């Protein structure tokens, strides 16, 4: 033990784990006391809200592993994987105008999706950076300029309201403008906020990881922009006013040189999935697996970009209901399935997923790296927020439409429980079952529903309905036994889309290829089509699951943002050429929209 002082808290916690683990498990029955114990550990101050990659995460993994692994019975496995948890500005950010240095974080700052790199080049002012055509109406800030290998200085937001017949909403995001500038050959982009857009002219904060483009992108203050513009005799307020009153682009060479270096650090963390396998006793059926899963991660201390509903509050988000409750029930099921009297024919995988709050990253990793052949996984039961059974006894179960038998099966089981079942068909949803549904596996998404403490520091252990949890865990145990006793696994059925609409990335689009993008894949220089939906345009054109889209109509696609941006430029009826990388081979597809 290196340094006793620092080691002590961990030592105390380890002893605490061992005692509670000893006390908690291996009773063979679903006990309210054990559920209470699991939640009081996982929603305690010491695990600090279980943020992926934090010491609280490590402690949670240790506790769950301890409980899952029972000597001589079950072995527990830990799958480690890396996630991007943040970006920050490195030490080497600099910028000079005509050899005059300006101040980092006062005069300029790189954007979170900027490339890291150096560029010394002339600056071209290109207005609002649009190349817009809609019927008669067009607005092209690049019409009379050549920005090849130059810096482009752009005004953020839009010059004119939609009332003037221009609909810039799909192309006015900073990222959209940067993609257009790169398409025009720019080697770097400088963004400045118009007075109308941000009177206080605050520099954009580097916050959340968001992939990266291939050129430096820097936000500068209006004061600095005016320095760049001074040889031309123009300044930002005057240019803003000119373009808005004359309702037309005005672009020109500023006559200034900017030499800048951007340095963005991607913050990665290691987190885990923890699982155990309870093998079946039937020589044949034991090759069929039922997965019971629950994510164990949560929001840590919350804050900006954490999905907290109190982003301005930095405090431990205990996540007792979300999702210490699901993990506690999963651990109790592991106990009763290992030590109870029930002898299972099929095999069970009980798994605690990491990084669910960061985009289902743990369950996606599990699906991409399954411990058993994916086709042997016959059903998945996802427990997420089952700790707040309400007086009306309502129990929500989603994904019911993803198998032919689920509805009647649940109602049959409920005869012994009397929950008010609220069943919904969709296979896709905001939790880990979505990763399994995406692979055509019948799913159950069990929850007691959201509440006002959801994703706030108030989601505490003392607010859990422990009696309700014991009942719900009993219900799941019955479901698991019923699935095990069925002669055949459930019959998979399509139950709605396999992914969220494009809403997450800049609003709905006019057209769709009908693919489910792989949001988790990064650094693949393209967009991986995780699922190509039969009957949709891409499928009809011969796109295959796993194809990596690298260009649309010859315009490069480096990631989801560029893909959504390019999609935003297309219209129903268009015929589009799409380049894909299929196992290293380039394939060109013609998609009819
Ligand atoms: Zn959750």
Average pLDDT per 10 consecutive residues for the chain, totaling 593 residues: 45 54 65 97 98 97 90 78 91 97 97 96 97 85 96 92 72 91 96 94 84 94 98 96 91 97 94 96 97 98 87 94 98 91 94 95 95 97 98 96 97 97 92 93 96 95 98 98 97 84 51 78 77 83 89 85 82 86 89 85
Contact 515, 533 (CB under 8 A): yes
Q: What is the pLDDT of residue 484?
A: 97
Contact 20, 66 (CB under 8 A): no
Residue closest to 425 by CA, chosen among 437, 413, 417: 437
**Could you tell me if residue 494 is inside a domain?**
no
Q: How many CB atoms lie within 10 A of CB 39?
A: 26
Scan for tokens 């980092």, then name that residue.
Answer: 104
Residue closest to 127 by CA, chosen among 152, 104, 97: 152
Contact 64, 296 (CB under 8 A): yes
What's the gap in Å between 502 CA and the centre of ligand 1? 22
Query: 537 with 471, same domain?
Result: no
Half-sphere exposure of 89 (CA within 13 A, CB side): 19
What's the gap in Å between 409 CA and the centre of ligand 1? 25
CATH code, 519: 2.30.42.10
**Could you tell me if residue 1 is inside a domain?**
no
What's the gap in Å between 277 CA and the centre of ligand 1? 23
Scan for tokens 């609220």, then name that residue.
Answer: 422
Q: What is residue 556's three-state secondary structure?
A: strand
Query: 400 with 467, same domain?
Result: yes
Range 156-160, long-range pairs (CB < 8 A, 24+ positions): 156/191, 156/192, 156/193, 156/194, 156/197, 156/198, 157/128, 157/193, 157/194, 157/196, 157/197, 158/128, 159/127, 159/128, 159/240, 159/243, 159/244, 159/247, 160/244, 160/247
Residue 291, beta-bridge partner list: 349, 380
Structural domain ending residue among the three candidates 485, 516, 535: 485
Structural domain ending residue among the three candidates 245, 262, 279: 262
Query: 181 with 291, same domain?
Result: no
Query: 459 with 340, same domain?
Result: yes
What's the gap in Å between 156 CA and the centre of ligand 1? 36
**Could you tell me if residue 236 is inside a domain?**
yes
Scan for tokens 């002082």, then name that residue.
Answer: 5
**Could you tell me if residue 508 is inside a domain?**
yes
What's the gap in Å between 295 CA and the centre of ligand 1? 7
What's the gap in Å between 241 CA and the centre of ligand 1? 48
Query: 511 with 472, same domain?
Result: no
What's the gap in Å between 432 CA and the centre of ligand 1? 9
Query: 26 with 50, same domain?
Result: yes
What's the gap in Å between 251 CA and the centre of ligand 1? 49
What's the gap in Å between 308 CA and the centre of ligand 1? 12
Query: 20 with 132, same domain?
Result: no
What's the gap in Å between 327 CA and the centre of ligand 1? 10
**Could you tell me if residue 497 is inside a domain?**
no
What's the gap in Å between 360 CA and the centre of ligand 1? 10
What's the gap in Å between 143 CA and the centre of ligand 1? 49
Q: What is the pLDDT of residue 590?
A: 86
What's the gap in Å between 296 CA and the centre of ligand 1? 8
Secondary structure string (H, E, C) spanning 334-400: HHHHHHCCCCCCCEEEEEEECCCCCCCHHHHHHHHCCCCCHHHEEEEEEECCCCCCCCCCEEEEECH
What's the gap in Å between 207 CA and the centre of ligand 1? 23
CATH code, 132: 3.50.30.30
Helix axis angle for 326-339 and 55-68, nearest 10°, is: 20
Q: How far apart are CA 1 and CA 8, in angstroms?
A: 9
What's the gap in Å between 228 CA and the centre of ligand 1? 49
Q: Could you give the number of structural domains in the chain?
A: 3
CATH code, 304: 3.40.630.10
Query: 458 with 364, same domain?
Result: yes
Half-sphere exposure of 172 (CA within 13 A, CB side): 16
Query: 293 with 162, same domain?
Result: no
**Could you tell me if residue 20 is inside a domain?**
yes
How far does CA 411 lie from the centroid of its chain? 34
What's the gap in Å between 54 CA and the centre of ligand 1? 18
Q: What is the pLDDT of residue 459?
A: 97
How many Å is the Cα radius of gyration of the chain?
27
What's the gap in Å between 385 CA and the centre of ligand 1? 6
What's the gap in Å between 216 CA and the centre of ligand 1? 36
Contact 304, 209 (CB under 8 A): no
Q: How far apart are CA 388 and CA 395, in angstroms?
A: 10
**Could you tell me if residue 492 is inside a domain?**
no
Q: What is the pLDDT of residue 531?
A: 80
Residue closest to 297 by CA, chosen among 278, 315, 270, 257: 270
Q: What is the pLDDT of residue 20?
A: 52
What's the gap in Å between 322 CA and the centre of ligand 1? 5
Query: 276 with 423, same domain?
Result: yes
What's the gap in Å between 545 CA and the centre of ligand 1? 28
Structural domain ending residue among the three candidates 203, 238, 262: 262
Query: 330 with 466, same domain?
Result: yes
Secondary structure string (H, E, C) spanning 461-514: HHHCCHHHHHHHHHHHHHHHHHHHHCCCCCCECCCCCCCCCHHHCCCCCCCCCC
What's the gap in Å between 543 CA and the centre of ligand 1? 33
**Could you tell me if residue 490 is inside a domain?**
no
Q: How far apart are CA 125 and CA 153, in angstroms?
A: 5
Print burial letters for 216-225: b (CB count within 10 Å at least 16), e (below 16).
bbbbbbbebb
- For 150, the enclosing helix (H) or strand (E) is none
Residue ranges making up the domain that contains 50: 10-85+268-485
Query: 248 with 187, same domain?
Result: yes
Residues in contact with 370: Cβ distance below 8 Å, sequence separation at least 6, in sequence order: 377
Q: How far apart are CA 442 and CA 377, in angstroms?
A: 9
DSSP secondary structure letters along 63-129: HHHHHH-BTTTB-EEEEEEEEEEEEEE-S--EEEETTEEE-BTTTEEE-TTPPPEEEEEEEEE-TT-
Q: How far apart are CA 44 and CA 316, in angstroms?
A: 9
What's the gap in Å between 490 CA and the centre of ligand 1? 26
């Amino acid at each position: 033990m290196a340094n006793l002082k620092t080691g002590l808290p961990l030592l105390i916690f380890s002893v605490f784990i061992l005692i509670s683990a000893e006390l908690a498990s291996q009773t063979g029955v679903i006990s309210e006391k054990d559920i209470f114990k699991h939640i009081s550990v996982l929603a305690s101050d010491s695990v600090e809200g279980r943020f992926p990659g934090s010491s609280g995460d490590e402690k949670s993994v240790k506790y769950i592993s301890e409980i899952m692994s029972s000597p001589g019975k079950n072995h527990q496995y830990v799958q480690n994987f890396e996630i991007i948890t943040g970006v920050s500005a490195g030490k080497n950010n600099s910028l000079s105008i005509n050899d005059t240095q300006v101040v980092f974080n006062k005069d300029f700052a790189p954007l979170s999706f900027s490339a890291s790199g150096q560029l010394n080049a002339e600056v071209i002012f290109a207005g609002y950076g649009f190349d817009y055509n809609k019927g008669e109406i067009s607005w092209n800030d690049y019409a009379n300029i050549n920005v090849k290998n130059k810096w482009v200085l752009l005004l953020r937001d839009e010059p004119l309201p939609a009332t003037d017949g221009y609909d810039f909403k799909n192309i006015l995001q900073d990222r959209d403008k940067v993609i257009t500038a790169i398409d025009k050959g720019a080697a770097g982009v400088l963004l400045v906020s118009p007075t109308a857009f941000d009177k206080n002219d605050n520099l954009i904060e580097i916050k959340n990881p968001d992939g990266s483009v291939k050129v430096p992108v820097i936000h500068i203050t209006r004061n600095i922009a005016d320095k760049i513009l001074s040889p031309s005799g123009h300044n930002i307020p005057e240019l803003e006013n000119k373009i808005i009153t004359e309702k037309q682009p005005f672009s020109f060479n500023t006559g200034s040189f900017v030499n800048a270096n951007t340095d963005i650090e991607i913050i990665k963390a290691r987190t885990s999935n923890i699982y155990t396998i309870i093998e079946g006793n039937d020589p044949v059926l034991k090759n069929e697996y039922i997965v019971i899963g629950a994510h164990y991660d949560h929001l840590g201390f919350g804050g900006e970009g954490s999905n907290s509903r109190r982003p301005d509050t930095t405090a431990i988000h205990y996540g007792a209901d979300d999702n210490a409750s699901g993990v506690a029930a999963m651990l109790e099921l592991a106990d009763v399935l290992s030590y109870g009297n029930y002898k299972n024919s099929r095999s069970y995988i009980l798994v605690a997923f990491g990084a669910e709050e960061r985009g289902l990253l743990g369950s996606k990793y599990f699906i991409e790296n399954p411990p058993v052949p994916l086709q042997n996984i016959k059903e998945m039961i996802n427990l997420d927020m089952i700790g707040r059974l309400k007086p009306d006894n309502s129990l929500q179960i989603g994904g019911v439409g993803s198998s032919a038998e689920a509805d009647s099966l649940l109602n049959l089981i409920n005869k012994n429980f009397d929950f008010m079942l609220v069943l919904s068909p969709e296979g896709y949803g905001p939790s880990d079952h979505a990763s399994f549904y995406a692979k055509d596996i019948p799913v159950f998404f069990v929850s007691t529903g959201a509440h006002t403490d959801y994703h706030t520091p108030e989601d505490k252990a003392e607010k859990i309905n422990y009696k309700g949890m014991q009942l719900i865990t009993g219900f799941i145990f019955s479901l698991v036994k019923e699935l095990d006793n069925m002669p055949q696994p459930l019959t998979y059925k399509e139950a709605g889309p396999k992914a969220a609409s494009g809403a997450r990335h800049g609003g709905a689009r006019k057209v769709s290829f009908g693919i489910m993008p792989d949001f988790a894949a990064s650094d693949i220089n393209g967009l991986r089509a995780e699922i190509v939906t039969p009957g949709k345009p891409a499928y009809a054109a011969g796109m295959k699951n796993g194809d990596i889209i690298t260009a649309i109509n010859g315009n490069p696609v480096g990631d989801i943002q560029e893909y959504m941006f390019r999609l935003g430029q297309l219209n129903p009826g268009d015929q589009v050429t799409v380049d894909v990388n299929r196992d290293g081979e380039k394939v060109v597809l013609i998609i009819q929209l």
